[in-house]
Amino acid sequence: MRYPHERLAANPHDRIAEHRTDDAWLAERWADPHTRVLVVSGTRIRPRDGRIDWVGPAEAPDGLRVLLGEHHGHAYFAVVVDAALSKAAQGEWTPLRGLLPYLAGEGAADVAPLVFHALGLAEWLFVTRYCPRCADPLHPRRSGHELVCGNGHTQFPRTDPAVIMIVTSGEPGSADERCLLGRQAVWPAGRYSTLAGFCEPGETLEDAVRREVREEVGVRVGAVDYFGNQPWPLPASLMLGFVAHAETTEVTVDEDEIEEARWFTRAEMREQAEAGTLVLPGGVSISRSLVEHWYGGPLPGQW
C-alpha cells in the first residue's frame, strides 16, 4: 500500500550541492530558458491558475538566488524577494500550509520536494538575520544554504525533529483493537488527529513518543515502532511517524494542547467517518497515513 504522505516525496530532486559555489555553472543554468524558478516573497509564494507558478529566469525578479537542484534534466532555483511584496497583496500570496491542496495531485506532487526545499530555506533565511554567537548581521553564501557573519561564524539551516504517533491498544488486527486520536479546542467540531510533539535535547525518538503521549493524554506507552517520516517545513520540522503501543488506556487530557481524546475501533472509525461526525487529517499528511495504516485501507473524508 502506498501511503498518502509518500506522494510528496516520491520523486525527489538532485540537490547537486557541489554546484552551489560554481559561479560559471550557476550562470550557465540561469541563462538556460528551460530553467525553472519559484519566486518566494518572505515565506510565501503566489499560485496561478490553480497551480504552483514556476517561471523562467527572464521572468524572475531580482532577489537572492537559491539553487534547489536538478529535476527531469532541468535546473530549479528559488528567488527570495522582500516580504513586503507579499504583504502588499496578501490575498495573492500563500504560505506553505495553504499550498498543500495544490501539491496533492499526482502531477503537482512531483515538484513538492522542490517547494518544500524552497520554502524551508526561505523561512530559515527570513528568521535568521543575526549571528547567535556575536549578534553581527548574517550574509548568505553557497546559493542560500549557509549564512556567515563578519567574524566568520557560519550558520546552517536547521530542522527540528518532531514525533507523530498513532497510539493503539488491544490485540493487533482484532475487532477490539482501538486507536487513540485527540483534538484541540480551536478545531472545528468532529476533527481529530494523531498526537505529536517535538523531541527534546538528549532524548531518543521513542522516549519522545512516550513522554508526549503521557503529557498530553495521560496514557503510558511501552513498545514504539517506527513507521516513516515526512518533511514538514512549517516552519522547519521533520515529522517522524511511529506506532505506539499503549500499556494503559485511561485518558486524562492536559486541557492545554489537547481538549479531548478518544479511543476508536475500526468499525467506529469507519461509521463516524462516513457519517461526517469524525473528520480525519488531510490526505497528504503523515498523520493521515498513520491512521490508514492502522485502519488497513483508505477512509472517507478529510480536513
Tell me the C-alpha to C-alpha distance, in Å, between residue 95 and each of 63, 79, 126, 220, 288: 19, 16, 13, 36, 21
The pLDDT score that the predictor gives to residue 10 is: 72
The pLDDT score that the predictor gives to residue 138 is: 98
Report whether 51 contacts 108 (CB < 8 A). Answer: yes
Query: What are the 10-residue block averages of pLDDT along the chain, 303 residues in total?
Result: 74 94 98 97 89 95 97 97 82 84 71 93 95 97 98 96 98 95 94 97 98 98 97 90 98 92 97 95 90 94 78
Report whether 208 contacts 197 (CB < 8 A). Answer: yes
3-class SS of residue 8: helix
Tell me the C-alpha to C-alpha distance, in Å, between residue 17 and each of 26, 143, 146, 163, 260: 12, 9, 12, 28, 46
The pLDDT score that the predictor gives to residue 36 is: 98
Q: Domain-by-domain residue ranges, the chain?
A: 4-127, 130-157, 160-295
pTM score = 0.90
Rounded to an integer, what distance in angstroms lies between the CA atom of residue 219 and that of residue 70?
46
The pLDDT score that the predictor gives to residue 109 is: 67
160-295: CATH topology:
Nucleoside Triphosphate Pyrophosphohydrolase (3.90.79)
